[in-house]
């Protein structure tokens, strides 16, 4: 890593809109003058290309008309292409209408490349309130903008502009995003770049056809091995209206009366799993399932030995260390009972879009303290990777969906509920056989993804050579 040193006048810092003092931000905005690329070409602000559209908020609940829904966590990073878009007639939290946008960009996680061309323009498409919709002033720049906004150097610029106390709160201000400067390229040169890139994009498209969602691979293997009736389950999920006897509300200790808790599809999942096993998670835990530890900004310390494992660090179904912050020695010493070890499963217990997601701790060298909005599941005499895959199946995720408590984005599920979920009881050899099959297929997918990454790097090189 290159060490950068520079001197800045304090008057320049105080003149900024947010009076930010951090090094990355100051270097990019003051020393680099908002310029990402070294080029002889004229550089202009992104606002010369894009117009931010007014935010149209769609309140949570049932929708008047079916809508296409974009979940950030379901989208592939640095692709620019929308995937896994499903129709829905109900939303669990407020969303933003995106139907008039040419491009929309997530202010949360922008350095990860959540920049998308809107291939659903003109349709009723909704997305997270983190998405900012933009109109492109001149559509002849649309493809060029996609390539330039997803360039690896641009992702570093977004990282410099991010602000927020914790990784889960780091966002790029849309006002500052539009101040970033990019090279202005003539139409003949843009056409030349696009002509060079399009065959590469076609190769990426062909490789993407080989990609299966991890969730789909896991689900299909479990469905085959344990005869999950996913067709019936998916049909039952569509039922929104049904009748119940008052006595049905007494079938749980909380006397819960929510529509979601009593769905026929939920009862179907329980019956399906009880056909397979009479065991529950609590029968295989070595330690009680516990919630993690809360934290305040003063507890973070870049020189600490332990990392804080938040919900944001496991939202992609694995522990991602790059956004995990170190904590002070005092904090880690006071929370030794909230540390993780290899083979622990960490489950997010709150937050729409994240609740129910799990990560398996596979690094025995990891020193981590798990957050209060997560819980630790520590099993004995059970294959941890088999348990992790089981937690990712539709059936288990749906049990979280119907059992969570709360309203809007403030939903929660607790250890006392999780420990009562059914857990498949088969021999270690049978567990390992299933694990081996799933892992082999997932490894093949990783190989394809690596080939896609190689092709994407070629696109970056073409862009950078063209503007040098």
| Residue 31 confidence (pLDDT) | 86
**Residues 235 and 170 placed together within one structural domain of the fold:** no
In a domain, 282, yes or no: yes
| Residue 445 confidence (pLDDT) | 94
**Residues 232 and 362 placed together within one structural domain of the fold:** yes
Neighbour tally for 356: CB within 10 Å: 23
pTM of the model: 0.77
d(CA 185, CA 147): 13
For 197-223, the pLDDT digits (tens) are 999 999 998 998 898 889 999 999 999
What is the domain range of residue 348? Answer: 215-431
In a domain, 341, yes or no: yes
d(CA 329, CA 333): 6
| Residue 293 confidence (pLDDT) | 95
Domain count, the chain: 3
In a domain, 160, yes or no: yes
**Residues 363 and 412 placed together within one structural domain of the fold:** yes
For 110-135, the pLDDT digits (tens) are 999 999 999 999 999 999 999 999 99
**Residues 71 and 18 placed together within one structural domain of the fold:** no
In a domain, 3, yes or no: yes
Task: Tell me which residue has tokens 């919630």.
Answer: 291
**Residues 304 and 278 placed together within one structural domain of the fold:** yes
Within 8 A by CB and 6+ apart from 327, the residues are 295, 299, 300, 301, 304, 306, 307, 308, 369
| Residue 28 confidence (pLDDT) | 92
**Residues 66 and 102 placed together within one structural domain of the fold:** yes
**Residues 26 and 50 placed together within one structural domain of the fold:** no
In a domain, 450, yes or no: no
| Mean pLDDT for the stretch of residues 72-89 | 87
d(CA 376, CA 356): 12
In a domain, 456, yes or no: no
Where does the pLDDT of residue 14 fall: very low under 50, low under 70, confident under 90, or very high at 90 and above? low
Asked if pLDDT for residue 241 goes beyond 80, the answer is: no
**Residues 270 and 419 placed together within one structural domain of the fold:** yes
Burial 40-56, CB ≥16 within 10 A → b, else e: eeebeebbebbebbeee
| DSSP H stretches of helix in 238-353 | 264-276, 329-334
The answer to whether 187 touches 140, Cβ cutoff 8 Å, is yes
């Amino acid at each position: 890593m290159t060490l950068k040193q520079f001197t800045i006048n304090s008057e320049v810092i105080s003149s900024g809109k947010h009076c930010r003092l951090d090094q990355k931000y100051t270097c990019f905005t003051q020393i680099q003058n908002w310029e990402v690329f070294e080029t002889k070409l004229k550089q202009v602000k992104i606002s010369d290309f894009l117009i931010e559209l007014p935010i149209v908020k769609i309140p949570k609940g049932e929708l008047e008309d079916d809508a296409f829904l974009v979940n950030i966590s379901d989208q592939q990073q640095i692709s620019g292409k929308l995937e896994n878009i499903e129709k829905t007639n109900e939303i669990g939290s407020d969303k933003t209408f995106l139907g008039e946008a040419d491009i929309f960009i997530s202010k949360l996680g922008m350095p990860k490349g959540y920049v998308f061309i809107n291939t659903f323009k003109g349709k009723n498409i909704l997305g997270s309130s983190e998405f900012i919709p933009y109109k492109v002033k001149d559509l002849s720049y649309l493809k060029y903008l996609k390539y330039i906004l997803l360039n690896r150097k641009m992702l570093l610029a977004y990282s410099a502009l991010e602000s927020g106390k914790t990784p889960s709160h780091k966002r790029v201000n849309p006002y500052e995003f539009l101040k970033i400067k990019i090279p202005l390229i003539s139409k003949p040169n843009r056409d030349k770049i696009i002509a060079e890139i399009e065959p590469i994009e076609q190769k990426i498209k062909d490789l993407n056809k080989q990609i299966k969602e991890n969730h789909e691979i896991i689900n299909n293997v479990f469905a085959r091995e344990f005869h999950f009736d996913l067709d019936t389950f998916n049909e039952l999920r569509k039922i929104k209206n049904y009748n119940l006897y008052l006595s049905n509300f007494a079938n749980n200790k909380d006397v819960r009366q929510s529509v979601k808790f009593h769905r026929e599809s939920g009862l179907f999942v329980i019956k399906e799993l009880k056909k397979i096993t009479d065991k529950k998670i609590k029968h295989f835990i070595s330690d009680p399932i516990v919630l993690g530890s809360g934290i305040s900004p003063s507890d973070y310390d870049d020189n600490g030995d332990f990392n804080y494992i938040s919900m944001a660090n496991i939202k992609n179904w694995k522990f991602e260390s790059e956004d995990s912050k170190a904590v002070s020695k005092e904090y880690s010493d006071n929370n030794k009972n909230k540390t993780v070890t290899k083979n622990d499963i960490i489950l997010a217990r709150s937050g729409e879009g994240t609740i129910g997601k799990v990560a398996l701790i596979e690094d025995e060298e990891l020193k981590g303290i798990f957050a209060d909005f997560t819980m630790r599941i520590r099993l004995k005499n059970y294959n941890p990777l088999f348990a992790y895959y089981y937690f990712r199946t539709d059936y288990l995720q749906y049990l979280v969906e119907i059992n969570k408590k709360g309203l809007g984005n403030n939903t929660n599920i607790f250890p006392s509920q999780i420990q009562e979920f059914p857990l498949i009881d088969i021999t270690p050899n049978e567990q390992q056989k299933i694990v081996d099959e799933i892992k082999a297929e997932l490894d093949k997918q990783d190989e394809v993804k690596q080939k896609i990454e190689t092709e994407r790097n070629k696109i970056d090189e073409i862009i950078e050579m063209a503007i040098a």
